[in-house]
Amino acid sequence: MLLGSKLHQEAGGNEEAFLKDVVSDLDRCFSVVENHEAKGASGNQGAAPLCHLCNNKSPRFGTQPIVFSFSKIEEATNKFSKENLVAEGGFGFVYKGVLSDGQLVAVKQHKLASRQGDREFKAEVEVLSSAQHRNLVTLIGYCTEGGRRILVYEFVCNGSLNKHLSRKNPKPLDWPSRQNIALGAARGLRYLHEECRIGCIVHRDVRPNNILVTHDFTALVGDFGLARWQARGDTAEQTRVIGTIGYVAPEYAETGQITEKADVYSFGLVLLEIITGRPAFDSYQQPGQQHLPDWVSFSFSSLLLRLCLITFTDCQATPFLAARAAHELLDERIDESSVDEYELINMVTAASLCIQKDPSKRPKMTQVCSSLAVTL
């Protein structure tokens, strides 16, 4: 079920009743977390510095989101000053702020009087109150005073992956940073799909804009407004197709049926973007090459995948051939001397497997993490 939609229907669309349900339902969500260990097998251990350069602490896991008054939000953002405006989109606005204890925060102010905004607000609060991991953005609190829909997150200091991959960025990411970001984002998705105690959570909008990074180039998956929760063992459920062009899995686009394998497909596109530095969809490319997998031609991808999947011990030439092929895909802005060829081959292989048209053939995120983490 889509998080938040059921309560909104039960409230008859009434805004005041809906917002009361948001608050009361949080106690139920958080009790699930309290009754289980908040830190799973992925190394969820306490509040380490979010970024060693900024020395900004992450909020401690296992604490209930704070209910902020609107006056506290105004104080933190200097009354939503233009100087603190970080981003603006169809959802609303994001401001940088500082809480009274010195904690840097990102304040997401949803637009008012929006049914879609209601659903996205509720979904994001429920997911981030129930799922806590070092590679997910942490929700500190929220405000519903006066019908407002405001979310307060930890501030992730170095912007989005999309910003760093942009051709306009004068300082392109080096290979070690790209490898670190890919592995961190994969671990965040693995937690959502396989390790979260309340069940599988499908993000539905995995893309570079929704992967934030620190100055240490640690990745945190964010923006859970479109998230969908699936109980263990649930099969694909049909729903209205929502997502971003270029990242939507083909079976989801065609049938409206959503499973976690749609996220795996989207993550495969993200890996290709990390490798090539090209966007998942580029309308300026000639027809037939606008979608990134099409640019990486089918024949070349098939050859590359065959090369990568051959066991190295079976043929001494395989590592050389695979590395040569993988380097043809590499973002030309990267200093090739910094590239670990084994990591590159593993990432290209993982991307190729993730974007397979048949969802049953796509790997689980556990397998993707294992592939990305393997070193010689």
- 221-268, pLDDT tens digit by residue? 999 888 888 765 555 666 677 888 889 999 999 988 889 999 999 999
Residue from 197, 186, 189 nearest 130 by CA: 197
Give DSSP secondary structure letters for 197-245: TT-EEE-S--SGGGEEE-TT--EEE---TT-EEE-TT---EE----S-T
Alpha carbon distances (Å) from 69 to 12, 15, 98, 143, 253: 26, 18, 15, 6, 41
Residue from 112, 165, 108, 166 nearest 137 by CA: 108
Respond yes or no: is residue 263 known to be catalytic.
Answer: no
DSSP 8-state assignment for residue 330? S
Structural tokens at position 359: 């969802």
Is residue 351 a contact partner of residue 268, using CB atoms and an 8 Å limit?
yes
Mean pLDDT, the chain, integer: 80
Q: Which CATH architecture has domain 5-154?
A: 2-Layer Sandwich (3.30)
| Residue range 338-374, pLDDT digits in tens | 899 889 989 998 998 999 999 999 999 999 999 999 8
DSSP 8-state assignment for residue 98? E
Tell me how far apart the terminal alpha carbons of the chain are, to the nearest angstrom: 43
Q: pLDDT at position 136, please? A: 95
| Residue range 160-185, pLDDT digits in tens | 999 999 989 889 999 999 999 999 99
Q: pLDDT at position 303, please? A: 53
Q: Which residue among 205, 223, 263, 331 is the active-site one? A: 205
Average pLDDT over residues 105-125: 80
Say which CATH superfamily domain 161-373 falls into: Transferase(Phosphotransferase) domain 1 (1.10.510.10)
| Residue range 190-216, pLDDT digits in tens | 999 999 988 899 999 999 999 999 989
Q: Where in the chain is the domain with CATH 1.10.510.10?
A: 161-373
Q: Where in the chain is the domain with CATH 3.30.200.20?
A: 5-154
Q: pLDDT at position 114, please? A: 62
pLDDT at 144 over 70: yes
Q: Residue 324's pLDDT band (boundaries 50, 70, 90)? A: low
